């Protein structure tokens, strides 16, 4: 805006002169004093003769006035204020008597500089702002750029609101205190031409007058940083052609219910827009010279505009500093948040202000979430972290989701932005939160093992200082357990790493062992590093039973990876530990896997002998599950040696031990395959194909792609059916994609 010419009013003339003497433009003084350019223009032109004392004080501070000049400015302002507050209320019907003709008011702050991208969000705001008296609710986490988006949109669409553009910062997430509804209305009403002396004293009266004035106007009302719906409602204009845009870190569901607010979610920037934002501050040439470092910076800032702007500001202060150097510093998680703060502005400050608006119990709960070693939590994990029950945890998670501090990525699964997680980890959550969540994973893993492989022996005794969770997830069947494993695999792996780093060895190897049903199901998924960590922990814990179990599983995995000599070393150690401890079941287990190694080396007779010994040990221990497993492998080795009759008899004997009619598992599927191959070898092609097809269908229906590939491959060796080939190709594609 231009500077304008002051009217012949004492306050306006003095203010204009003082501003010119100080060398300020209207825009510069307005920004320094924290008022709008339009309001300053009204004062200098004599249209606003009696600004409030706090406004005059802010102007005097910004102009660096002497005490004498400041007193003179306040004296002249006081002369323009009404001697009495005025009438109690101005009924809407009498609004025209209280209103002087006004130019189109514009209280919008300046358009944001360096705004990039957000085409989809801008279009969404335009859609939400269409229709009759719409309320558009722009929501998102702290620092995501909601205000910048709305101001950019408002300036782009100025012409759509010829009767005025009003703006108020409701400061719902600040340290300076929120303005009352009356304070905001005392800004809006004069902008619409209401004399200060005619503004009603009550909020209801002032709000009614505001709605009356807006009824026939085409206004834009921007209500920025709203804390809750109650703060917004008295400020809604309600006119048919008025558009209200509200920004908030909270979802404000009440506003959606009562005023049909249309939400527009604002998320972090994608890599391209984030890089463009950096270029807007640092210049395209500097960013273009280090494209990989710029992308890395965007990644480390999590696409959060506030974080990106702080990083860019630091780089702008040091023109010779490479972007790669800044990225290297930000890679240190212990320093990242401090590097993304400038004075009192930054990610940490924004998150602190968001938390201040939440109840104390939710804030404490948030701090506990920071101790989670993974990226996602469900209500059970969250409850364990905070030492509460799942229902209370879910309530807190929902409160945090409303404040955009967590995001529900799938039903019942929540995650945090990386920078929010770092902030949570900086808070004090007490000493036992990590132990509690690790013990939650142990308890849940044991429940999943029991559902996935019922009847198997317990994996291990619980740690002596086990912290039992308030509740443990229940699994109705094996498919539910496998689904949990699949969803939680990454977090379980991270839990093992966190436990190992904290030297909680007794928990490290136990969590790894609870994964064995998933390991069986997805044997080619690169499990060796996890099991090596578990083995190191079991040795540090001096637990021989744990060592034997882990060595056994690790040996099997190494066989599958073609590392047979390594596998045999581990397996012989497992067998020796089990034998020394007099653990017949563990020894039988080890012998079964040793036999697999012998078979891989071509010693099928030796493999069969090891399995026969395992069967004897299992029968002596009365363990039908291990007996069935040993018979399954014995049948396999006999089939591979071409001993079809022995293979068929052994497979049939093992299948008779399957004591869960109507259910399937991996051993059953593998036994059906052996039976089918043996029948084919004995010349019974019809029954052999039927058994192999049954094995393939059971594997396909249960998601056991490795088994499906094996069974369908055996079928294709005796049949060139196109349907079989399509099923084989599909299973192989699934297996290849997963691994």
Q: Render pLDDT for 267-314 as a digit per residue (tens, 0 to 9).
A: 998 888 899 889 988 888 999 999 999 999 999 999 898 889 888 888
Q: Render pLDDT for 307-366 as a digit per residue (tens, 0 to 9).
A: 898 888 889 888 889 999 999 999 998 888 888 887 667 888 888 888 888 999 999 999
Q: Render pLDDT for 397-412 as a digit per residue (tens, 0 to 9).
A: 999 998 889 988 888 9
Dist. CA 548–CA 499, nearest whole Å: 20
Q: Following DSSP, what letter does each residue of 309-327 receive, concatenated?
A: HHHHHHHHH-TTS-HHHHH
What is the per-residue pLDDT for 324? 93
| Confidence bin at 396 (pLDDT 50/70/90) | very high
Average pLDDT of span 490-501: 96
| Confidence bin at 430 (pLDDT 50/70/90) | confident
- pLDDT value at 535 more than 90: yes
What is the per-residue pLDDT for 88? 35
Average pLDDT of span 665-692: 92
What is the per-residue pLDDT for 24? 83
Phi, psi (rounded to 5 degrees) for 567: -60, -45
Q: Which residue has the higher pLDDT, 367 or 706?
A: 367
What is the per-residue pLDDT for 349? 84
Angle (CA) 425-395-511 rounded to 5° is 55
| Confidence bin at 520 (pLDDT 50/70/90) | confident
What is the per-residue pLDDT for 8? 42
Burial of 659 (0-12, 13-18, 19+ CB in 10 A): exposed
- pLDDT value at 739 more than 60: no
Dist. CA 414–CA 412, nearest whole Å: 7
Dist. CA 183–CA 506, nearest whole Å: 61
| Confidence bin at 647 (pLDDT 50/70/90) | very high
Q: Render pLDDT for 38-92 as a digit per residue (tens, 0 to 9).
A: 788 888 887 776 788 778 887 888 888 887 778 878 888 887 776 544 333 334 4
| Confidence bin at 539 (pLDDT 50/70/90) | very high
What is the per-residue pLDDT for 537? 97
What is the per-residue pLDDT for 92? 40
From residue 567, give the alpha-carbon distance in Å to each of 553, 563, 577.
Answer: 10, 6, 15
Percent of the chain exceeding pLDDT 90 equals: 54
Site of tokens 């893993």: 445
Average pLDDT of span 445-449: 93
From residue 422, give the alpha-carbon distance in Å to each of 247, 324, 340, 347, 599.
Answer: 25, 22, 12, 10, 50
- pLDDT value at 642 more than 70: yes
What is the per-residue pLDDT for 509? 97
Residues with Cβ within 8 Å of residue 481, at least 6 apart in sequence: 447, 448, 449, 451, 452, 475, 517
- pLDDT value at 687 more than 50: yes
What is the per-residue pLDDT for 245? 96
- pLDDT value at 581 more than 70: yes
Q: Render pLDDT for 704-736 as a digit per residue (tens, 0 to 9).
A: 888 899 999 999 998 888 888 999 989 888 877
From residue 341, give the alpha-carbon distance in Å to each of 172, 307, 309, 425, 657.
Answer: 21, 8, 10, 17, 65
- pLDDT value at 96 more than 50: no
Q: Render pLDDT for 199-209 as a digit per residue (tens, 0 to 9).
A: 888 889 899 99
Pairing of strands 413-415, 407-410: antiparallel
| Confidence bin at 23 (pLDDT 50/70/90) | confident
CA dihedral 223, 227, 233, 238 (to 10 degrees): 30
| Average pLDDT value for the chain | 87
Q: Render pLDDT for 586-625 as a digit per residue (tens, 0 to 9).
A: 899 899 999 999 999 999 999 999 999 999 999 999 888 8
The sheet that has 135-139: what strands, in order across it?
165-169, 220-224, 243-248, 135-139, 262-265
């Amino acid at each position: 805006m231009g500077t304008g010419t002051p009217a012949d009013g004492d306050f306006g003339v003095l203010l204009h002169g003082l501003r010119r003497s100080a060398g300020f433009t209207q825009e510069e003084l307005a920004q320094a004093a924290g008022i709008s350019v339009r309001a300053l223009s009204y004062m200098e032109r004599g249209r606003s003769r009696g600004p409030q004392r706090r406004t005059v004080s802010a102007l005097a501070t910004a102009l660096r006035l002497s005490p004498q000049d400041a007193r003179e400015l306040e004296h002249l302002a006081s002369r323009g204020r009404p001697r009495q507050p005025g009438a109690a209320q101005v009924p809407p019907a009498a609004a025209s008597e209280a209103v002087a003709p006004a130019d189109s008011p514009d209280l919008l702050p300046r358009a944001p500089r360096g705004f990039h991208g957000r085409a989809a969000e801008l279009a969404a705001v335009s859609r939400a702002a269409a229709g009759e008296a719409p309320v558009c609710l722009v929501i998102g986490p702290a620092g995501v750029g909601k205000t910048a988006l709305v101001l950019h949109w408002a300036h782009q669409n100025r012409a759509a609101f010829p009767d005025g553009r009003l703006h108020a910062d409701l400061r719902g997430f600040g340290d300076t205190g929120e303005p009352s509804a009356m304070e905001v209305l005392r800004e809006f009403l004069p902008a619409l031409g209401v004399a200060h002396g005619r503004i009603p004293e009550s909020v209801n009266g002032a709000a009614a007058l505001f709605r009356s004035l807006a009824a026939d106007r085409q206004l834009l009302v921007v209500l920025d940083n709203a804390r809750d719906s109650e703060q917004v409602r008295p400020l809604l204009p309600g006119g048919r052609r008025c558009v209200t845009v509200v920004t908030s870190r909270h979802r404000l569901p009440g506003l959606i219910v009562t005023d049909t607010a249309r939400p527009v979610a604002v998320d972090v920037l994608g890599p391209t827009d984030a890089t463009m934002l950096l270029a807007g501050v640092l210049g395209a040439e500097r960013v273009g010279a280090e494209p990989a470092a710029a992308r890395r910076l965007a990644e480390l800032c999590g696409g959060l505009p506030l974080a990106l702007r702080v990083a860019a500001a630091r780089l702008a202060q040091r023109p010779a500093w490479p972007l790669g150097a800044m990225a290297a510093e930000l890679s240190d998680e212990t320093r990242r948040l401090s590097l993304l703060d400038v004075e009192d502005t930054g990610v940490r400050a924004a998150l602190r202000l968001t938390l201040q608006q939440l109840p104390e119990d939710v804030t404490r709960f948030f701090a506990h979430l920071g101790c989670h070693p993974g990226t996602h939590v469900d209500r059970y994990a969250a409850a364990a972290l905070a030492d509460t029950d799942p229902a209370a945890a879910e309530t807190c998670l929902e409160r945090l989701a409303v404040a955009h501090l967590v995001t529900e990525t799938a039903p019942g699964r929540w995650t945090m932005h990386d920078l929010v997680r770092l902030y949570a980890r900086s808070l004090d959550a007490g000493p036992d939160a990590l132990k509690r969540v690790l013990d939650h994973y142990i308890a849940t893993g044991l429940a999943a093992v029991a559902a996935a492989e019922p009847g198997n022996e317990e994996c291990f005794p619980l740690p002596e200082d086990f912290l039992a969770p308030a509740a443990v997830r229940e699994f109705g069947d094996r498919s539910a357990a496998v689904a949990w494993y699949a969803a939680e695999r990454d977090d379980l792996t991270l839990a093992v790493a966190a436990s190992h780093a904290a030297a909680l060895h007794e928990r490290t190897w136990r969590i790894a062992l609870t994964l064995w049903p998933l390991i069986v199901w997805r044997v080619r998924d690169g499990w060796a590093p996890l099991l090596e960590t578990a083995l190191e922990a079991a040795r540090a814990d001096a637990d021989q039973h744990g060592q034997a179990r882990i060595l056994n599983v690790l040996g099997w995995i190494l066989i599958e990876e073609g590392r047979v000599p390594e596998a045999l070393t581990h397996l012989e150690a497992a067998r020796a530990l089990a034998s020394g401890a007099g653990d017949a079941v563990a020894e039988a287990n080890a012998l079964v896997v040793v036999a697999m190694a012998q078979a891989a080396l071509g010693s099928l007779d030796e493999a069969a002998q090891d399995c026969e010994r395992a069967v004897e040990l299992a029968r002596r221990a009365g363990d039908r599950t291990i007996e069935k497993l040993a018979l399954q492998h014995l049948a396999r080795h006999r089939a591979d040696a071409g001993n079809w009759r022995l293979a068929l008899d052994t497979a049939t004997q093992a299948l008779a031990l399957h004591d869960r009619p109507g259910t399937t598992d991996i051993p059953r599927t593998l036994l059906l395959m052996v039976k089918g191959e043996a029948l084919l070898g004995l010349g019974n092609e019809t029954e052999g194909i039927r058994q192999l097809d049954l094995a393939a269908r059971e594997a396909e229906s249960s998601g056991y792609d490795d088994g499906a590939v094996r069974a369908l491959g055996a079928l294709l060796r005796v049949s060139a059916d196109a349907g079989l080939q399509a099923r084989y190709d599909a299973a192989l594609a699934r297996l290849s994609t997963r691994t």
